[in-house]
Amino acid sequence: MLLRDQNLRDLPGPLADIATEHRIAARVLALIDQQVGVLENRRRPDLRLLREALHFFVNVLDRVHHPREDLIFERIQGRGNGGADEEMNRFRVDHEELRLSGLALLDQIHKLKLAARGAERKALGQDLAAYSASMRHHMRMEETRIYEPARSLLSDSDWWDIENRLASLPQPICGLDQAPEYRWLLDRYLNEVAVVSVGKLPFAWIDRVASSVERAVHTGAAVSRLPSRILRLAGRSSRHMARTVLAVRSIPTAIAACEAVSAECVTEGRAAYVLLRDSVRATAAFESLPGSGGEGQGIRTLRSEADLLGFGESPAARAGKASVSWQAACASLVFRAVLKPLLAGPALRLAAMPYLRTPAKAPRGFQVVPVEQAGFVGRRIQPLQGAAASRTILYLPGGAFIFPAFSGHLYVLAYLSRKCEAQGLLVDYRLAPQHPFPASLDDALAAYCYLLDTGVEPQDIVVAGDSAGGGLALSLLLALRDRKLPLPAGAACFSPFTDLSLSSPSLRFNRWRDALLPTSSTLAEALRLYAGDYPPDHPLISPVYSELGGLPPLFLQVSSSEILLDDTLRVSRKARAQGVEVQVEVWDSLPHAWQVFSYIPESRAALRRTAEFLARQLKLSGTRSGTDQLIRPN
């Protein structure tokens, strides 16, 4: 196994840094390979991408990467045989040769821009292909012949000394403070996602009309309430000014009182203007929360839907082309008209509704066995026929941390379990407000440890979750990593809630496009109940604020019209920047967590792709064949 394919937690710090940089280099080489294919077809390549990629190899490797390697070379020099020392000297020569080759290619690209003939493009493609192959061979040889033996040759004190000497080196790529000159390239490869559209009904114009109607209704209601709000504000101000004037006892006091009254009038006038402005704009209730402006995050976020152009063909760029099934279109319209206004009501009163506490029925062909342990309560889902496999999918259902799991979550788990030939364990974690953070995370940890205690190997476990459960799944991985417990083989998250400080820009620019989730005070109330005494940007409450290095492979799905779109994209680019393998899919114009709604064809398609990812992580040759209909209740 190559160094960069190993778990970074198992490597000494300096080797983990080098492995991370090799992973990033491999991704940049993949971008160069794509452009080689363009050049082979005699088409014009993306010259900026090629320049930035070669600039990365020529400059970053010499400034940061090679000095790291030289420290390790120095430390192991003389500890092996003479052949090993000679090989290290050869690698140093290779560094210089690759740097000169990169500079020559940069010059060649500049000339191509001035005279882009077909023969020159073909020659550039051949030279780039040779450079890419040489770089891959060089990294592979370094990892197998130098770094892998170094793990046994060097002691802990050696690695500690190397790490101390490396502390002064900059980290323009892997660190959070990325160098501006590499921002474009990093955004290009970090934000590259698959935009998925599998339906046939053009939904873009219907979505725009429905969004406009919802916004007009909301704004009209806010403006109609404005006079009464201003009257209450003016009445309160008048009473205050009257008390101030009646308290006057001298001329200086009277002058001061008049100045105070004038200032009060100006202040109240400004307050009335703000009320009017916010009503017309229909400002979200949570925008006044601390940290909602996204200040000081150190993470580049989306500002508008147009920013999707940075990592793929965006729905905005394909206006009128986004297609969904007629079932998904009908569901979106019904959700917008019925469920979204309902969810905008008081969170606690809604969570207490009796129908939400109705036990979910077992999916057809499966049995649901209650699991009650000292640390958690859950439900194990197993097929009625056939022995249960040792492979297990640990599922954390969504529900804004205040709603319990419902039948849709069982259907999703049953589908994934059948496709991956695994058993499922759904965790009914404790809910707010009775049990705020960290109760839910403690339950998830207890469930994972229960699987380990029953003999399930970590490589036979995958974690999945939707919405709040998706964010909790990421928090579980972080908690396992920090506690140095064995990590599962991978995780799949559907529209994960990763930023409970409500600072993701998509909460604003997708406010009217989201067919299910409102940006009313209900959302902020539910999150305050869950966070309890902890700040909303706590790393285990909002995973986007955590260090994500060392996590297993992640598979993320989100809809382009969700208010949680940026929650997914921000955590994915940060995880990739820190060496995590992440696959992201943005599905066009679907409701939040559409995977749990079995009557939507896109649900089956999304779960099928998720099952393929989970099967790869569980080392299966493929997903189980058979009917693709989502499992129905009895």
pLDDT of res. 49: 80
pLDDT of res. 521: 67
Half-sphere exposure of 201 (CA within 13 A, CB side): 16
User: What is the Cα–Cα distance from 45 to 51, expressed in whole angstroms?
Assistant: 11
Give start-end residues of each CATH 1.20.120.520 domain in the chain: 3-190
CATH 1.20.120.520 fits 3-190, yes or no: yes
CB 501 within 8 A of CB 542: yes
Name the strand (E) or helix (H) holding 25.
helix 13-40
* 467 is a catalytic site residue: yes
Q: Average model confidence (pLDDT) for the chain?
A: 75
Give SS3 for 88. Answer: helix
Tokens of 418: 């059948």
Give start-end residues of each CATH 3.40.50.1820 domain in the chain: 347-617
pLDDT of res. 480: 94
Amino acid at 58: V
Name the strand (E) or helix (H) holding 394.
strand 392-396
Please state the CATH superfamily assignment of the domain spanning residues 347-617 in this structure: Alpha/Beta hydrolase fold, catalytic domain (3.40.50.1820)
Is residue 442 pLDDT above 90, yes or no? Answer: yes
Mean pLDDT score, 584-606: 87
pLDDT of res. 158: 78
Candidate list 467, 475, 506, 598, residue with the active-site label = 467
Is residue 456 pLDDT above 80, yes or no? Answer: yes
User: What is the Cα–Cα distance from 483 to 500, expressed in whole angstroms?
Assistant: 23
More confident residue, 204 or 585: 585
Tokens of 310: 């940075």
**Among 97-106, 313-322, 493-502, 568-577, the least confident range:** 313-322
pLDDT tens-digit series, residues 271-325: 666 666 655 554 443 343 333 333 323 233 333 334 443 333 333 333 334 578 8
pLDDT of res. 220: 75
pLDDT of res. 286: 39
pLDDT tens-digit series, residues 2-52: 665 565 566 777 777 777 777 778 878 877 887 888 777 767 777 888 888
Amino acid at 536: P
* 562 is a catalytic site residue: yes
pLDDT tens-digit series, residues 162-220: 777 766 665 655 554 456 666 666 655 544 555 666 666 666 667 777 777 777 777 77
pLDDT tens-digit series, residues 387-401: 557 889 999 999 888
pLDDT of res. 178: 54
Candidate list 21, 142, 525, 562, residue with the active-site label = 562
Instruction: Using alpha carbons, list the distances in angstroms from residue 566 to 102, 107, 537, 573.
Output: 36, 38, 16, 10
CB 78 within 8 A of CB 27: no
DSSP codes joined into one string, 585-621: EEETT--TTGGG-TTSHHHHHHHHHHHHHHHHHTT-S
Question: Which residues, at least 6 apart from 212, have a Cβ–Cβ distance to it below 8 Å?
Answer: 512
Is residue 356 pLDDT above 70, yes or no? Answer: no
pLDDT tens-digit series, residues 118-158: 777 788 888 889 988 888 888 888 788 777 777 777 777 87
* Nearest CA among 373, 344, 208, 365 for reference residue 286: 344
CB 519 within 8 A of CB 284: yes
Give SS3 for 147. Answer: helix
